[in-house]
Structure 1
């Protein structure tokens, strides 16, 4: 089972910077499940010029690598339907919508509106919105609101009469009440019709069938990347549980701790326009407690690198600088960066390297694991379509969602 590289690891390790991304720590010797014969993790011969997760001689002095082959895991396999493909296609068409001025609102149009709702002539909380993009027929707003706009023209003001559901959980005071929404239609937009001509002019394909086939392949690839990443993460967590860290090299703990602090400062404090001290205080830490957190996270990152390097040693995974440079180029191209330098600038050289090597080790875990496929609906995967506009927080006109 071959896994394509993925930048999901980058996103997760960045997003979980305050909670860690390793999932669990290796156990002390008594709890280790490393009950088989000792795995040789001594440094690879003639490895000085190889790319490594960690340049640490005598790795076996600091840790014992637990079982990493034959681990059990479940891989999600998503069923892709025509409806899933059409939803993705419609999202793309939505993004290519163009303003129309020569006709009134029709079903399927995107209207930009201002609206104010009243009950018995009195405005109510949550009943106002401005510059809201609403797709007619989406069912996003309560019954009668969207159909009440059909036939309106750009610039027209329309009073739409509706009745709130009973009960109406977003605001129980409105349950079952009649309301009037005064709506101004700011603009009307419509997605293009999906034709061979549109496909040829706007994509690298010539026909609708070719285009839809490419969308299906894209969804399948994206889901497979995601599934294998989470599978590899689960297997790696088992390796962490199975392994024993005897001690952490003090100089590397200091290095990883400082790396963590630098990442917080460059990616979070600076982005928030704060000094490091201001950001730490805003997160509820004192200097002392933040330093403790940074050391803890530094050890978590170091532990992960130690296990990755241990598996690389055990597998004699020899990655030359030339091999690695090609991997970085492939990642940058696959994920839409202008160049590998742009990707490295976005994530940092260390994080890019850590991700690539983690994924290489993940391949080993998956390929040597006892994997069971579990089929699930595509709807459970994260393949969202286009966004349908931003609200100012108003929700009284929007349809409530009821959990099934």
Structure 2
């Protein structure tokens, strides 16, 4: 087998492969002999059909099959021989393809970029620290109460946080528009569910009252056909209901699947959950800074094949998340290219750090992470046992731990500043691309 390689770009390789005719004929004959043993042809007993008849009937198909398998096999042999690492399937173009002659074909493909991860010392990380104060716990209990609020019809004017049952019709230039009308819909004033001005315009309204609201859709409204346009909404208030917060009692505690029946026990459980959330938030923010730093210090070229695969994965995820009668390939690739590029770059950089420092998932950390996740459930021992019986889930946990070890490796060389903050600030999401 003859092989020659041409570098057509930083990552693209054009490889010419020659396969001797003798190897092709050997593979063709092997398939014809297999066919002869089981071929059923009128006038001949199974296994007794002359090879000339077998060749006449089946040689073309056997040759096509043999050529396809040989291209696949010899491509693999060639990349191993040339010590290349393809980043996707090759595009194959036959150069010569005649019976009785050597096969020569060209395989064009991309390779993974070769690089060494560097610049750890240039990475700056602000590592937050915080505690769950009693006031934070009190605030969380109020949030839980508000999330489980009930409403009772009230004979008074509407206030913020009241729930209104309304009918409304929206018109633009005197014409009703799609999605602009509803009947019997429930709306909590101050929830921010409707466009600016809609909920504020109903404060003070009473049951049976009709109000006309002249509003403008935001310029960045998700429906581009309505963005920036002025609409008139005629709203009829059917009922006004006042909120009633639940008492912190055994009935309330049971809604959260907590066995505790007193306020002290419930506070303890909520605090545990808050502390777990706090640890995860701090860890996530450190990780994001490390990943941002690695990307900035190690610009690399991304193979197009990997980028395309990641875009397609994000398309599928988007369809699964938002639903609708749409196929993934109908979503514009441009919507996902930036996120896909970041994911692929980070995947390559993290993999290289693992290789450079010979990192392997630490079994102790794997178990600690599983126990941390299991602690959120009523029967943590059963959750831990389930993980250890499920190899796929275990591999996912090992991947998370390995990524944490990458972060720790970088932190040993990076510039790290510790900062004490409040619980609220520590858990507040950062509006930045998430590392995967």
TM-score (structure 1 length as normaliser): 0.48
TM-score (structure 2 length as normaliser): 0.46
Relative to total residues, which structure has the larger strand share, 1 or 2?
2
Greater relative contact order structure (CA < 8 Å, 6+ sep): 1
